[in-house]
Structure 1
């Protein structure tokens, strides 16, 4: 199965750039723009979660059979650091579990200096 980034309009709106997308690893970059920030020009927690959700969803999708779809049914985020406006964060999603009904993905969001901004674990449910 191949991945078309146009299928994720919210990720496009956020500015997510997918740099790698395989069944075992999805990597993306996100420029921390002012409109994605909270007070103090820091990346908003919701943007961190949405970025990670997009990466994990692509991984879940790439592991589906033809005709199936996926949706997030659970997500947990640990916020571990801040990313300032004007910097770029990188997210790397890898599977913890690939099953017939669900897949579980761990996404590390890192700053340019390699420090963690967030660690997200999400569950994707197989539909169809």
Structure 2
């Protein structure tokens, strides 16, 4: 299933599971998502994780509320070449009334950890 977010859909992010406690997704590393060396660009890792964490935050919102990313921090631990598939799993570290904090583990198909992202989602109430 798609993310419902135009940029994430353009990148090819596919959501496999979405609940209040976990969001799983995958993304194939295409040439247009890479550095000149044919390795997935760091910004693509971050955008992939942001889509998963934001999806989790939305799952926890009250009716009428919205969310936006307030902060994001990424540790890059390994590269992913063109044609490989990234798998991501976002889980909440904190879900509160005004914000939520999500940790996303990005791995390759063999389960090797390639990046760890922690993001804070701010809750925006109507009115």
Query: What's the TM-score, normalizing by structure 1?
Result: 0.95
Residue aligning to 2:3: 5
**What residue ranges of structure 1 are gaps of 5+ in the alignment?**
none
The aligned counterpart of 2:32 is 35
Q: Please state which structure has a larger fraction of its residues in strand.
A: 1
Shift of 1:123: 0.1
Unmatched tracts of structure 2, length 5 or more:
none
1:102 is aligned to 99
**Number of residue pairs matched by the alignment:** 125
Q: Aligned-pair RMSD on alpha carbons?
A: 1.2
SS at match of 2:83: coil
Distance in 2 of aligned mates of 1:41 and 1:17:
21
- Which residue pairs with 1:120 in the alignment? 117
Moved over 6 A (4+): none
Query: 1:22–1:84: structure 2 CA closer, same or farther, 3 Å change rule?
Result: same
In the TM superposition, residue 101 of structure 1 has moved relative to its aligned partner by 0.5
Separation in 2, partners of 1:67, 1:50: 25
CA distance in 2, matches of 1:116, 1:4: 24
